[in-house]
Structure 1
């Protein structure tokens, strides 16, 4: 490679050290100058991360964040009545729910909490598709969010007995005469101990324990507990046994769910999923074992597990191996471009359009149709089709062409730190601002080809780059392999 492609060094724009940058990428939705400043001010990546874990959950502040879609606060009966009256469909309300998730991920300063909220919504997955779960789905998301950095045993109890989960997995009408096995099965197979750790007899026992939790479908949508529908008599699920003599089985349910949450097989399942999400698609058995033990030693609390995870050698060595999924890509692109999104006043405003862009790349939040939740490994998103879709969205965003409303994009003059500036130094500044790291020869060469500019060319106020080519330069940064990884 010719020496003329030696990269510039615009040291006035800060970067993050390799380990801090790696940590920030895994536990945020993309670097921004503000995030870099926060990490630097905290004293480094680990200090920032620990502070994020220790930050108390503030429900009021969280509710006020991008609280732009009022239908998400309606009760289940009202949501359904408005659908019946053709005021607004449940699918439209759920589109708003997904939009709120995306904009929260763009704007929240509590990025670790946002990432973990997504992780648990995927693990205890209730799709946003479908009329019946949708009436309760926003409430379910609030429950998961509240427990995202808390204890898994507490989260599991509230999630499994929530009306949205009861409806989705057919427990809402399960009774002692006709126990429905869907929730009892998925509770074991997906949410706790995992495949190979239970039998068909365990599934039947699990279903019997969960009888009595009801939702008045298609009428009032009220969630109740019905003792007359609860199965009584001895129940056995693996090493859990109970005489189950009380017709009110709510305390039994809580004992059972807490037992499952504390089970060693559950500890390993959650540890493995955390390792796949935040370390690599193929984590070592040693790190899974270590994290599972931390989980058990801390009474299912998640924060200690995360603290241990980011301090493992496996985590430090796993830089650049996790691919962003479609929604992560779109959110990271908005963040990288410094987009300022405001409350939507029309359907084509940015806070609404971001959902369609996520769809275009491959998947919107919450839309995975099966109860296993969207994949945590990268293979499904590593296709030519996905790359082309991402490039198309990147191109629109880099040019500020779509969306145009409800968002403020930085102008080329906003991006340039000084004028005149040598092109190689401008590319280095942009790499630091967008990627959080210094530029290299490959990036400089791609940038030169995209805008037909020499590395040593002086960019002045009237240069064509600022007049009509700057979108090409930004697109190079968004289409760079570094931007596809977290």
Structure 2
């Protein structure tokens, strides 16, 4: 039997391959609505340029954090409620993870969300680390504000933020006992990388950061304690300063700006972007070009992204990146256009879809910002292309395709809602569903897989009374969601 794909010309529009590739890398999944937005913008490049200025993109429905009231509480109140057994910090962090997933699913500012995730992993503060729950939601908001600005300002905002100070022990660092955790990770992970510094650099890096603190176990207010700042001459790499004053805040900002402008930092940032958006082993020429743009642009991120998407290596890397668990969850819900309701407070809200998405992501391998080490969640394919991950994804796709779990606080489109008309040949139905779920037309491989899954022939006529509509439609949806076209980005 031949599996020549048919076309359903009345179906959802599709993008040119290069535009589709751009959106798969810089969004959490294609939808017919997103495709129309791209076409209205004039194409992928114009859409991308609009996305680089999020203020130009209305996003009234993107932020669902109001569904979880504790995310708007201040650090002291969150701490006191946890201390008194009213609501654990881990519960607040679970709600933060859910709000993040909801934003990825619903936001029209897709590039901003993708970049925010990238930087929250680069400057990783695990949501389950001690005491960070008091400040972790604010930390994510701060990084979002800087996600498309300059890396120098992003670095300054991340390193001096109370969540980072709490996580890497700078909040308890003093001039008499400088804690080296943040000073070391700043060099090893956030900027220049291993091989570009020595232990003396780590010590002086840590001394520069003394004074930044958090009022732990009381108000949890961020503060600067001048009496805790180490004074005396410091040198890190080529950065030197007499460090004579007790207020080292300006010194810290100068130091971080120096690190942001280092060629080694430019290389690390460029490589991270290339691995995330191009391929696991990007050509050195691409990394060098991006690093050059980064330095020439005073560490501005937008010019680097523009150079990346214009590069031939990006255009030729279609299908080479695997979606990680969080991306798969977001993309699946986006493809199926599931509608969510705000969950009620307490245990009554546990089965609601907006809460269940966190367990789905965890089952697939990880939840947002739960990576336990400061190096952040991996970006490579091998970490997310295991057999157990694949079977877990298939299980999730099957549950969503059938509308079986979650069942409360969600609305799924039924088979008849997906059918473009009452009678349609199966090969044309597959093309219609490929346009709806994958943002592309059918292929011979997809048609064959759908025929075999649903036990029908390409030219069989499907009606509302056909078994495909009555009880096999989730087989069709699940097959498309299990395809490489959905599992890669």
CA distance in 2, matches of 1:227, 1:474: 61
Write out aligned runs for 1:17-36 (5 A).
17-36=16-35
C-alpha deviation, 1:56, in angstroms: 2.4
CA shift in 2, pair 1:17/1:59, >3 Å = closer
SS in 1 for 2:172: coil
Q: Deviations over 1:5-33 (max 9, x none)?
A: 21111122211111000000000000111
Which residue of 6, 10, 13 maps to 1:12?
Answer: 10
1:418 partnered with 2:421 = yes
SS in 1 for 2:453: helix
SS in 1 for 2:235: strand
CA shift in 2, pair 1:60/1:452, >3 Å = closer
SS in 2 for 1:56: helix
Write out aligned runs for 1:337-416 (5 A).
337-345=336-344, 346-416=349-419
SS in 2 for 1:7: coil
Q: Deviations over 1:220-249 (max 9, x none)?
A: 212111111101110000000001011100
CA distance in 2, matches of 1:130, 1:195: 24
SS in 1 for 2:240: strand
CA distance in 2, matches of 1:107, 1:441: 32
CA distance in 1, matches of 2:356, 2:437: 22
1:318 partnered with 2:317 = yes
The aligned residue for residue 435 of structure 1 is 438
Asked if the contact 2:62/2:108 (under 8 Å) is kept, the reply is no
The aligned residue for residue 200 of structure 2 is 201
The aligned residue for residue 123 of structure 2 is 124
Note the residue ranges of structure 1 that are not aligned, 5 or more in a row: none
The aligned residue for residue 470 of structure 1 is 473
Moved more, 53-62 or 457-466: 53-62
Asked if the contact 2:342/2:409 (under 8 Å) is kept, the reply is yes
The aligned residue for residue 37 of structure 2 is 38
CA distance in 2, matches of 1:141, 1:63: 15
Q: Deviations over 1:126-148 (max 9, x none)?
A: 00003411111111111001111
C-alpha deviation, 1:191, in angstroms: 0.4
Asked if the contact 1:15/1:36 (under 8 Å) is kept, the reply is yes
Moved more, 218-227 or 426-435: 218-227
Asked if the contact 1:29/1:331 (under 8 Å) is kept, the reply is yes
Asked if the contact 2:280/2:380 (under 8 Å) is kept, the reply is yes
Q: Deviations over 1:349-380 (max 9, x none)?
A: 11000000000111000100000000011111
C-alpha deviation, 1:271, in angstroms: 0.5
CA distance in 1, matches of 2:87, 2:22: 41
The aligned residue for residue 334 of structure 1 is 333
CA distance in 1, matches of 2:442, 2:63: 38
Note the residue ranges of structure 2 that are not aligned, 5 or more in a row: none
CA distance in 1, matches of 2:419, 2:310: 37
Asked if the contact 1:76/1:135 (under 8 Å) is kept, the reply is yes
CA shift in 2, pair 1:61/1:11, >3 Å = closer
Asked if the contact 2:192/2:264 (under 8 Å) is kept, the reply is yes
Give the TM-score normalised by structure 1.
Answer: 0.98
Q: Alpha carbon RMSD of aligned pairs, Å?
A: 1.4
The aligned residue for residue 187 of structure 1 is 186
The aligned residue for residue 302 of structure 2 is 303
Q: Deviations over 1:142-162 (max 9, x none)?
A: 100111111111111111011
Which residue of 460, 464, 472 maps to 1:461?
Answer: 464
1:155 partnered with 2:154 = yes
Q: Aligned pair count?
A: 484
CA distance in 2, matches of 1:480, 1:400: 19
C-alpha deviation, 1:419, in angstroms: 2.0
CA distance in 1, matches of 2:213, 2:454: 62
1:449 partnered with 2:449 = no
Asked if the contact 2:57/2:109 (under 8 Å) is kept, the reply is no
CA shift in 2, pair 1:38/1:63, >3 Å = closer
CA distance in 1, matches of 2:111, 2:57: 14
CA distance in 2, matches of 1:177, 1:150: 36
The aligned residue for residue 209 of structure 2 is 210
The aligned residue for residue 145 of structure 1 is 144
Give the TM-score normalised by structure 2.
Answer: 0.97
Asked if the contact 2:131/2:166 (under 8 Å) is kept, the reply is yes
C-alpha deviation, 1:54, in angstroms: 2.3
The aligned residue for residue 69 of structure 1 is 68
SS in 2 for 1:459: strand
